[in-house]
């Protein structure tokens, strides 16, 4: 039997299983609110369309990620539907059957499928789409209840990504269904694991994932290509933004989601070009911005302009924007002055561990002021506040010294480390604002802290993304007929 016929039979099996489970599920002892029946019908159509991956040839990567997303979604629906045992078992079968086509596939395909399953599951749990709430339907004697999201909403209102959604209440759990957010999860569930896979291939000289040895056999090689861990953090941080933002209410959420998704999509395009076409586009980018020696200036300019405008417009220290904006400006100014002064000098730090220590000290001196107890001291004392400015300038100078003391690869990793800290602070504040009713900084208005975190994240993500791209992709790209390793070692 040829591949086309096998795929068609596979598709029919998946459709029969899923359609039977939905029929048993929604025609049993179920109550569906009149206002959500049209939306529920759209969700059923959406779920069935996921099975179309079965008729696609195995060479297409989209087949991996559609099947992994469908597997997670159907298994979760099976958990919610445990009150109707027959339908629940069929949904578990429909989810498990998504993996049947993998039985003859190679290790890298299974690796990407598993990575996607973990990522999609994490986003669903992290966004509170699935919640374990025992005893939902005890008093109603129902196996399932489908209602509007307005019946299960926080006092703040319905988050933008869940507008018009529905909630399916099961006997021990419930799931919030939002087609727009499920579409985002499906998209990121494909792009992020694929980007991790492409990053690994680039850093392991074009080979598929094959353990840590594929990154190098000596300690020096492992340190050189150890950027595989740091380089992936951009994808992880960018992808975490939609998961947190899904729980928030406000107009700033849509730009944040759009920016995060666009950056991940651009990463996928650039990584794919580096592997498949060998275009020397990264070298052109480096030349356009004056090489790695001026990357610092570009990053600082991107952050300096919007931060200084915001601080000048607000004009008072009681504002969280001005307080932390000025702190960041001092750090950036110190970095610029420090690097300009050291650029042509022979002053350098000797030794890898010494450089790490200076970089760590610099980050501690800069970001310690974001700690609530420390920021409160600076807020209440002009002397300590002035000391904060001086410490931030010194932190910038130390960062410039560490930057000046290492090679081009080390410079990019230092930039990534610094650029990563701002999104991490933003995500911590955003997460804390969601799960706690007490503001993280008592001295600032609670209403200003979440917008501050979102704006800081939106400003810092492009910088983090750029440093990741420059760190991962070889400086000269891939020459025609060459290998990634040759491109990486061409200048060494």
Pick the residue with more confidence: 492 or 234? 234
Report pLDDT for 211. Answer: 45
Radius of gyration of the chain (CA): 26
Q: What's the pTM?
A: 0.75
User: Is the pLDDT assigned to residue 328 strictly greater than 50?
Assistant: yes
Confidence band for 71, pLDDT divided at 50, 70 and 90: very high
User: In what side-by-side order are the strands of the sheet with 130-132?
Assistant: 30-32, 144-148, 166-169, 173-177, 130-132
Length in residues, the chain: 492
248/372: higher pLDDT:
372
Residue 74 pLDDT exceeds 90: yes
Residue, of 29 and 360, whose pLDDT is higher: 360
Name which residue leads in pLDDT, 47 or 383. Answer: 47
Q: Per-residue confidence at 156, pLDDT binned at 50, 70, 90?
A: low
């Amino acid at each position: 039997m040829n591949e086309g016929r096998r795929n068609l039979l596979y598709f029919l099996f998946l459709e029969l299983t899923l359609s039977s489970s939905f029929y048993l599920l929604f025609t049993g002892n179920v109550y569906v609110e009149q206002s959500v029946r049209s939306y529920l019908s759209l969700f059923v159509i959406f779920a069935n369309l996921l099975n179309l991956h079965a008729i696609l040839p195995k060479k297409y990567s989209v087949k991996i990620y559609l099947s992994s997303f469908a597997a997670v979604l159907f298994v979760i629906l099976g958990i919610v539907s445990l009150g109707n045992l027959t339908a629940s078992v069929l949904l578990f079968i429909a989810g498990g059957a998504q993996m049947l086509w993998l039985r003859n596939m190679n290790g890298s395909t299974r690796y990407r499928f598993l990575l996607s399953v973990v990522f999609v599951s994490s986003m669903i749990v992290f966004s509170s789409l699935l919640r374990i709430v025992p005893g939902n339907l005890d008093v109603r004697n129902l196996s399932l209840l489908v209602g509007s999201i307005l019946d299960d909403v926080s006092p703040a209102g319905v988050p933008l990504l869940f507008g018009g959604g529905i909630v399916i209440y099961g006997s021990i759990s419930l799931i919030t269904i939002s087609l727009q957010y499920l579409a985002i999860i499906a998209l990121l569930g494909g792009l992020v694991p694929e980007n991790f896979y492409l990053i690994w291939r680039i850093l392991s000289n074009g080979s598929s994932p094959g353990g840590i040895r594929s990154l190098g056999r000596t300690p020096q090689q492992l340190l050189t290509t150890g950027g595989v861990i740091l380089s992936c953090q951009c994808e992880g941080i960018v992808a975490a933004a939609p998961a947190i933002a899904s729980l928030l209410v406000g107009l700033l959420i849509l730009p944040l989601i759009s920016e995060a998704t666009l950056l991940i999509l651009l990463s996928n395009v650039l990584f794919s070009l580096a592997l498949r076409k060998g275009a020397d586009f990264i070298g052109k980018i480096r030349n356009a911005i004056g090489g790695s020696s001026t990357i610092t200036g570009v990053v600082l300019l991107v952050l300096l302009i919007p931060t200084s405008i915001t601080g000048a417009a607000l004009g008072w220290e009681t504002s969280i924007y001005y307080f932390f904006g000025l702190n960041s400006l001092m750090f950036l100014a110190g970095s610029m002055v420090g690097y300009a002064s050291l650029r042509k000098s022979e002053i350098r730090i000797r030794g890898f561990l010494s450089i790490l220590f200076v970089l760590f000290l610099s980050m501690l001196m800069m970001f310690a002021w974001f700690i609530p107890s420390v920021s409160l001291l600076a807020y209440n004392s002009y002397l300590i506040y002035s000391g904060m400015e001086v410490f931030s300038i010194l932190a910038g100078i130390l960062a410039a010294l560490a930057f000046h003391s290492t090679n081009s690869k080390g410079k990019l990793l230092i930039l990534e480390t610094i650029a990563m800290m701002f999104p991490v602070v933003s995500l911590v504040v955003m997460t804390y604002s969601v799960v706690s009713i007490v503001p993280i900084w008592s001295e600032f208005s609670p209403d200003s802290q979440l917008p501050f975190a979102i704006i800081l994240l939106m400003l810092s993500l492009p910088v983090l993304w750029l440093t990741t791209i420059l760190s991962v992709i070889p400086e000269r790209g891939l020459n025609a007929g060459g290998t990634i390793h040759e491109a990486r070692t061409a200048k060494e």
